[in-house]
Amino acid sequence: MCCDGTLFHSVLLQSGDPSRKLASLGLKIKIKKGRSYFLQPCPAHEGNRCRIYEDRPVRCRIFNCQQLLRLFAGEATEAQALSKIQEARRQVDHVNHLIDHLSETNQKRGLTQRCAQALQTDVKTPRHAELETAMKKLALFLENEFRVKPETNLV
Ligand code: SF4
């Protein structure tokens, strides 16, 4: 979920990241206001694995979601963490189903962006309201159970 556009829509490169090499490995590096980043879903994410694992960017190397941190700290068991992951995936599947039902969206964008795209309409139907509610619920769940505050030494 931290690579497929569920948790994040972009990854900022850090000073130690070799952007040319990462680009040669298939990451589509963009630059905005002098900052280098790439969008998610990540092109190196294949079959739930990182195709460029040995060369992955700094942020990818240091990121541990809340579930992993709780596991490391002994505050949660593997079964509890897996249960949270399964719940998140169930909600993501539901949101994706609702999005696909409403409109075609750009699959190269993160889930939040695709959801916003699907909700951009003059006519609101009960399906739109259902998607809005499901996305809000998912966003809260991801915030409480998976995202972590960015490290202060990172850009
Ligand atoms: S480079 Fe690898 S670890 Fe980083 S977002 Fe892409 S697939 Fe995930």
Q: Are residues 53 and 93 in the same domain?
A: no
Q: Are residues 71 and 133 in the same domain?
A: yes
**Which residue's alpha carbon is at the smallest distance from atom 5 of ligand 1?**
3
Check residue 150 and give its pLDDT. 67
Q: Are residues 72 and 58 in the same domain?
A: no
Exposed e or buried b per residue across 6-32, where buried means at least 16 C-beta atoms within 10 angstroms of its C-beta: bbbbebbbeeebeeeebeeeebeeeee
Q: Are residues 43 and 95 in the same domain?
A: no
Q: Are residues 59 and 101 in the same domain?
A: no
Testing ligand 1's pocket by substitution, the residue of 38, 56, 58, 108 carrying the most ligand atoms inside 8 A of its CB is: 56
Task: Report which residue type is found at 97.
Answer: H
Model pTM above 0.85: yes
Question: Taking residues 40-60, what's their average pLDDT?
Answer: 96
| Percentage, residues of the chain above pLDDT 70 | 96
> How far, CA to CA in Å, does 19 sit from each of 1, 15, 60, 99?
23, 9, 14, 33
Q: Is the CB of 102 under 6 A from ligand 1?
A: no
DSSP-based three-state secondary structure for 87: helix
Q: Are residues 141 and 74 in the same domain?
A: yes
Give the structural domain span for 47: 10-63
**Which residue's alpha carbon is at the smallest distance from atom 8 of ligand 1?**
3
* The total number of structural domains that make up the chain: 2
Check residue 123 and give its pLDDT. 87
Q: Are residues 128 and 104 in the same domain?
A: yes
119, part of any domain: yes
**Is the predicted pLDDT of residue 8 greater than 90, yes or no?**
yes
Q: Are residues 42 and 86 in the same domain?
A: no
138, part of any domain: yes
